[in-house]
Amino acid sequence: MLIARVISDVWLSALVSWVTGRSSAEEVGEHIESAVGLVLR
């Protein structure tokens, strides 16, 4: 369950960045991909 929690926290942070205009949708996708890759190593 900790893996899901970490990924959801990263997703929420990235979503907020996208909604507020600080990140593009592409950057959000890259951020989430990176986090998932690091957590699931």
The b/e string for 3-15 (b: 16+ C-beta within 10 A; e otherwise) is eeeeeeebeeebe
CA–CA dist 35, 6 (Å, integer): 9
* Cα angle, residue 25 at apex, residues 2 and 18 outer, rounded to 5°: 70
Task: Give the tens place of pLDDT for each residue, 1-41.
Answer: 899 999 999 999 999 999 999 999 999 999 999 999 999 98
* Strand, helix or coil for residue 7: helix
Report domain extents, the chain.
2-39
pTM of the model: 0.80
Predicted pLDDT of residue 1? 87
